[in-house]
Amino acid sequence: MSIDRREFMYGLGASLGGVALTDLLSSDLLANNTNDDLKNDSPLAAKPLHVPAKAKACIMLYMAGGPSHIDTFDPKPKLDELDMKKFVRKDKFASAMASGERYFVKSPFNFRQVGESGISMCEHFRHLGSVADELCVYRGCQAESINHPTANYHMNTGNRFGGDPAIGAWVTYGLGSENQDLPGFIVLPEVAYPQGGSANWSNGYLPPYFQGTTLRAKGSPILNLFPPTGISRDHQRKNLDLLARLNEQHAQAHPDHDELAARIQNYEMTFRMQMQVPEILDIKNETQSTREAYGLDDLLTQDFGRRCLMARRLVEQGVRFVQVYTAGWDSHDYIERAHSQRIRSIDKPMTALIQDLKQRGMLDETLVIWTGEFGRSPDNGKRGGGQRAGRDHNAKAMAMLLAGGGVNAGHYVGATDELGEKAVECVNPIRNFHVTLLRLMGLDDNKLTFFHGGRFKQLSQTGGELIEELIG
Amino acid sequence: MNRNAIKTVFLACVLFVVPLCTFGQQPSGEPTADAEEVFAQRVLPIFKARCFSCHGDEPDDLRGEFDMRTLDSILKGGESGDPGMVPGNADQSLIFQAINWDELEMPPKENDRLNADQIQYVKRWINDGAPWPSEQRIAEILRTTDAKWNTHEGVKVKTSRGLSDDWTNRRYKLEDLWAYQPIRNVEFEIQPASRNPIDVFINRKLTAAGITPLPKADRAALIRRLTYDLTGLPPTPESVQAFVNDTSDDAIQKLINQLLASPRYGEQWGKHWLDVVRYADSAGFSNDFARPNAWRYRDYVIRSFNMDKPYDRFLQEQIAGDELFPEDPDSQIATGFLRMGPWEHTAMSVAAVTRQQFLDDVTNQVGVTFLAHELRCASCHDHKFDPIPTVDYYRMQAVFASTQFVDRFLPYQSHENTTGFEEGKTRIENLQKLKGPKSLTTIPRDQWPVESWDADTETKGHKKVANKRTQILNRELKRFKPFALSVYSGPDRDFTSMKIYAMMPKKKQMKGNVAETRILTGGSIESPSEPVTAGVMSVVESQRVKLNVGSGKRVTEFKIPNTIAGRRAALAKWMTLEDHPLTARVIANRVWQFHFGKGLAGNPNNFGATGKKPTHPELLDFLASYLIENDWSLKKLHRLILTSDTWQRATGPNLPSIAETDPDNLLYARFTPRRLSAEEIRDSMLFVSGELNLTEGGIPARPEINLEVAMQPRHIMGSVAPAYQPSPTPSQRNRRTIYAERIRTLRDPMLEVFNQPSLDLSCEARDASTITPQAFTLLNSQNSFDRSLAMAHRLSQSHNSIEDQIRSGFKIAFGRSASDQELKQCLVHYRQMLIIHQDSLPALSKPPTYVIREMVEEMTGLAFFWVEDLDVYAGDYQADLKPWDVSPEVRALADICLVLFNANEFVYVY
């Protein structure tokens, strides 16, 4: 078998530039190949598009917990009339949470229309209005699951039960990466992982090169990037030198075993990555005005702001898909306090992100998506005996924002009913949103397949429809 | 049937009985027919199945405004304005270009793409003028020519029935039906008699390909390969020496028997089974609550392998142990198999949906595990590729309609390990007395992540966290009670994850109804259609019945009773019928795969049309027959395989002839080297370092995992999951990996990075990728440093000179002596390292005794904080050997040990 050259490549520091490995390899595995050849065979090498598209990269801002569409981008005046009005729901297909005695809840927020497009936004979006005309507000998507982990899996992987590849893995598999020194799919989680955990950014059955690499918010950004304290770089180099010698002798005894070379190379990569990763993460050189714009000086916005800034930097470096998580949207009670805080924590950073991308001329090529796993209900149940204005989970209605990357900016697409209970216009399941997301990035869901377990598998599971209205 | 598989007669030739084929013959080539006939028999059915859904079925919503239902509308074409077809010229015809994926690509999905034969028929029809006869004429053609076409590229298969006549009457390629054919009674004669029959099959193909296989591997390689294969651990230097020196003819047999008799065998092969069934100690999803008694199933599996439980019995116990063997405790534990999938029902889910989710999961998992069929594919529509109608899917699902969850009270058997129960229980009871989350004010101010916080938010938040902690601790206590994760057959009942115990109902409550099983249109519980009764795969039954016609035996289709009890028992009986075509093949193929790295049939979970076909079908049938002949003994099958020349071949040096003719080694001219599995790497490091505790079974061990991951906050319903703390003592932690707790939402990153599969999906074969994070893990992790230090300590205790220490290190890690050159290189390295270590004293570090947590309180939208005590680290925890416990000499030697663990030679088996 010819050597599987793809095995050489993975993520951070995967470029072959400056690798002095050929002399470590006893055979002529690499002799007939220039580095460029190897690069072209890398699983992360840039690949041709299926269809022409503007977006080269995607930043997905993921609001874990399920933000309320009714209190953000989909105002429902009808609820003002019905506020606190009671009713009883009995439905075999309703969860215990949504059953029994219910009462309607009006939005505690005022709305204003912003931009030339006149998009409605909750009053706590104080900054986002300035980029309103870059936004496409989509109110027709429907999830299927009303439970967080399954809904997260559905939104992220197309499969409610987890285990399948995440969108970022698919996109990287389909397009490769523009930068061989970085993974194609990077996840910027909060300190705490969302429900469902790392399966939300899994490579599933795709090769592991496409797994989402988390740059952890605290501690070592990549696990085991460095040896335990007390081991100097020189010390480690010496260990690696002995390892290389032992491996060299072993390779001579097993000239037919191709994987040995790949494994040798991986050890050299680790050594280089220890230098490179901290450089990538260092935001010291960003200007004070940038820091201010992203809200890095404010306790409320700095966590999300730092990760939005990091997302911009990574995309600038050629990373294909960046996902930024922020949780706390599961406002069953006291939605006024909870949602106003959450909204303010993301408002400034995400506005800065869109403006920053635009100023750098990157917005056209960068698809920005804002979404949660589902929307919220117009009504609430009693908990602990009291009525506290909040909202339960709602799979039938939600709000998403799309910006940049060839989207139908400055428009509303789709609508929910007068209570915000379910989508009624331009209604599409998540799989259609996935098909559309892929198309915006130049990929055809039906062609982006991977043969596994005897079947060509795809993000939409069994195929889906394009939501043309979202495309500009 | 006479299954007398082997006759050892001295003859120079090998005779094969002509394979039995119950589907009839399938001649090759196209039948002679005129264009109208081709259209009626082939082209129109293709159009209907693959084109009309977008180009005809919904006249108001035609894709590309192109209607294919009539000749005129095809000729008219779609929105492009060009005609869709040029009769007489396929190459110029848009529809032909489209199905040929020539610029246009139709049907657009890869799964629906037409095969070469189908494309050829359409081409032939167009080139012959594209006639489109009337409906009456088509019916007439079908009536008069069916017999002729029946014998051509495709046979019909009798099943219960499809949702449509088109599906019911569709044709299958004979080669795609291999798995439903009866297992061939392969009689052949071997010369010389001592020859292993496996080699006869393998060598026949090699000879035909003109390939001379590699010779046997040398003895040192063989013992290493064999020991890893059967035990997942390396051989000791002593056993290598003994085997290399044992020149007797039966040396390898003795070694095989010895390893098969070792308890390590069940641990290694049990691991393979747990991959297939997705074993985990937690339930997954939003709470990921513990399944505190699941370990009894894990130990049951290991025990079953070790005692060589006949596989038919092993299957029956897992499907219906409660019904078939109610007096046998292990048979009750075995039914935990049916509950291995992730499952959760809370106020946030719909009961009917959760129940359906279980039914779908268990039906599919039974299909995948024992029958190598993804039955789930047929839940929404008749199977696209296999003769599995949706009706059959719901008939199979109806078998489980009366299956209910129970935590079965089952006193521990003498062979179950219950050590550590008292201390474990005491620990949980002590934790229950404590409040749980503490305010930041209980720790020094300089450690506060913030200066101030909202008191109301804190109160609310702490209450929720404490509540969740109580739920978790209550489940932990269940670990020490003799319950088994099990099932019973009974009327409908509700279950919720919020109840800790699912107790066996009283006799009175055992009366009631079982939900009627209905076909769910599109797989949706909101669209039930006609009811079905429990049944089995009809394709298997129709072949079994057909085969026995005229045999004198009266065989009728297998029936599953419609009573509450006995459905699963009947299913298990059906699956273990001697003439069941799938069961024995499926397990024989899995066994082969775990010995060779690939199955004879390349997708052990999929024997359907899209799975890889067997490379050596007669051999697979022979192995299946052999297994049944030998009372389903897996150990006998292992012996047969391991004593074959095929298994004992060298991996190299490869011959150019092999490399060119058979680069993927499908003909087994050589043995394919393999990388150790995740568990084998961890276990081998502990074995080599002398730390491995070989205690068997019991409540899950908690090894040390990457500390950052252990402390990583993870959102669960309403809280953050508690930090992962290891078992307190090194011997409790350093158990074999199969005994480590498997938490669905908290995987050991070291195992994950080395391809331990997902705990949610059945894994038919592990990957062995080579990716950079593996190097980080093995080179930089605390685990690697701890094992290296322990190994160095062990070497320094047993040998005085550094030379002897290094020599011994090579022997225990690689099973061979260090070369002079290697010894020299290591000595040079040692001296350099010694200088470094003498110059620097290791900094003392201790694990944290508490961790600060942060969460956003959903009621207020504000963050709150709490201090979570780490009771193990603050209490009885004993660290492994650390750098500050040993001399600079040992630390310098540990650097060499670290390199040995990272070496290619350590992680590959040849």
Distance from CA of A72 to the nearest CA of B (A): 15
- B562 φ/ψ angles, rounded to the nearest 5 degrees: -95, 15
Q: Is A287 touching B (CB cutoff 8 A)?
A: no
- Which of chain A's residues have a Cβ under 8 Å away from the Cβ of B451? none
Residue B5 confidence (pLDDT): 42
Q: Which of A224, A338, A455 sits opposite B776 (nearest CB)?
A: A224
- Which of chain B's residues have a Cβ under 8 Å away from the Cβ of A339? 861
Helices (H), B630-781: 634-642, 645-648, 656-661, 678-689, 707-711, 730-733, 749-753, 772-780
Specify whether the backbone of A84 is left (phi greater than 0), alpha (psi in -120 to 50) or beta: left
pLDDT above 90 (res B771): no
| Contact flag A161-B374 (C-beta cutoff 8 Å) | no
Q: Which of A195, A224, A328 sits opposite B777 (nearest CB)?
A: A224
| Contact flag B829-A238 (C-beta cutoff 8 Å) | yes
Residue A454 confidence (pLDDT): 73
pLDDT digits (tens, 9 = 90+) for B642-680: 999 999 999 999 888 888 889 889 999 999 999 999 999
Residue A10 confidence (pLDDT): 34
Q: Is A33 touching B (CB cutoff 8 A)?
A: no
Are the beta carbons of B311 and B627 closer than 8 angstroms? yes
**A253-267, B308-322, B478-492 — which is least confidently predicted?**
A253-267
CA-wise closest residue to B376 among A443, A198, A107, A159:
A159
**Joined tokens for residue B718:** 């309403």
| Contact flag B675-A269 (C-beta cutoff 8 Å) | no
Reported ipTM: the value is 0.88
CA-wise closest residue to B549 among B183, B185, B182:
B182
Mean pLDDT value of segment A134-142: 97
pLDDT digits (tens, 9 = 90+) for B685-724: 999 999 999 999 999 999 999 999 999 898 899 899 999 9
Percent of chain B having pLDDT more than 90?
Answer: 75
CA distance A180 to A170: 17
pLDDT digits (tens, 9 = 90+) for B205-253: 999 999 999 999 999 999 999 999 999 999 999 999 999 999 998 999 9
pLDDT digits (tens, 9 = 90+) for B39-60: 998 899 889 888 988 898 888 8
Q: How high is the mean pLDDT of chain A?
A: 87
- Confidence band, pLDDT 50/70/90 cuts, at residue B153: low
Distance from CA of B590 to the nearest CA of A (A): 15
Residue B1 confidence (pLDDT): 38
Distance from CA of A134 to the nearest CA of B (A): 28
Q: Is A31 touching B (CB cutoff 8 A)?
A: no
Are the beta carbons of A444 and A49 closer than 8 angstroms? no
Query: Which chain A residues in 82-141 lie under 8 Å from chain B, judged by CB atoms?
Result: 92-97
Query: Which chain A residues in 353-382 lie under 8 Å from chain B, judged by CB atoms?
Result: none
**Joined tokens for residue A258:** 């191709």
pLDDT digits (tens, 9 = 90+) for B821-848: 999 999 999 999 999 999 998 989 999 9
Residue B4 confidence (pLDDT): 42
Q: Is A386 touching B (CB cutoff 8 A)?
A: no
Residue B770 confidence (pLDDT): 83
Mean pLDDT value of segment A317-333: 93
**A87-91, A425-429, B303-307, B395-399 — which is least confidently predicted?**
A87-91
Are the beta carbons of B749 and B709 closer than 8 angstroms? yes
Q: How high is the mean pLDDT of chain B?
A: 92
- Confidence band, pLDDT 50/70/90 cuts, at residue B26: low
Q: Is A393 touching B (CB cutoff 8 A)?
A: yes
- Which of chain B's residues have a Cβ under 8 Å away from the Cβ of A66? none
pLDDT above 50 (res A40): no
Instruction: Say which DSSP state A407 is in.
Output: B
Query: Which chain A residues in 187-206 lie under 8 Å from chain B, judged by CB atoms?
Result: 191-199, 202
Distance from CA of B904 to the nearest CA of A (A): 6
Residue A37 confidence (pLDDT): 36
Distance from CA of A396 to the nearest CA of B (A): 14
> What number of CA atoms fall less than 13 Å from residue B755's CA on the CB side?
20
- Which of chain B's residues have a Cβ under 8 Å away from the Cβ of A148? 286, 348, 717
- Which of chain B's residues have a Cβ under 8 Å away from the Cβ of A331? 858-859, 861
Are the beta carbons of A363 and A134 closer than 8 angstroms? yes
pLDDT digits (tens, 9 = 90+) for B445-499: 999 999 999 999 999 999 999 999 999 999 999 999 999 999 999 999 889 999 9
Mean pLDDT value of segment B571-589: 97
Q: Which of A223, A254, A463 sits opposite B709 (nearest CB)?
A: A223
Is the pTM of the predicted complex or chain greater than 0.90?
Answer: no
- Confidence band, pLDDT 50/70/90 cuts, at residue B152: low
pLDDT digits (tens, 9 = 90+) for A199-232: 899 888 888 778 898 888 788 888 999 999 889 9
| Contact flag B350-A64 (C-beta cutoff 8 Å) | no
pLDDT digits (tens, 9 = 90+) for A13-38: 333 322 322 222 222 333 333 333 33
Torsion angle of C-alpha atoms A127, A130, A133, A134, degrees rounded to 10: -60
Distance from CA of A85 to the nearest CA of B (A): 21
| Contact flag B775-A222 (C-beta cutoff 8 Å) | no
CA distance A327 to B716: 12
Residue B19 confidence (pLDDT): 45
- Which of chain A's residues have a Cβ under 8 Å away from the Cβ of B774? 266
CA distance B749 to B703: 12
**A6-15, B125-134, B774-783 — which is least confidently predicted?**
A6-15
Q: Which of A7, A250, A449 sits opposite B904 (nearest CB)?
A: A250
* Residue corresponding to tokens 């001649």: B27
Chosen from B712, B764, B772, B860 to mutate, greatest number of chain A CBs within 10 A: B772
| Contact flag B605-A453 (C-beta cutoff 8 Å) | yes
Percent of chain B having pLDDT more than 70?
Answer: 96
Mean pLDDT value of segment A81-87: 94
- Confidence band, pLDDT 50/70/90 cuts, at residue B501: very high
Contacts of B244 (CB under 8 A, 6+ apart): B219, B220, B223
Residue A153 belongs to what H/E stretch? helix A148-157
| Contact flag A463-B896 (C-beta cutoff 8 Å) | no
Q: Which of B109, B712, B771 sits opposite A208 (nearest CB)?
A: B771
Kindly identify which residue of chain B lies nearest to residue A220, measuring between CA atoms.
Answer: B708
Q: Is A246 touching B (CB cutoff 8 A)?
A: yes
pLDDT digits (tens, 9 = 90+) for B529-559: 999 999 999 999 998 888 777 777 777 889 9
pLDDT digits (tens, 9 = 90+) for B361-392: 999 999 999 999 999 999 999 998 999 999 99
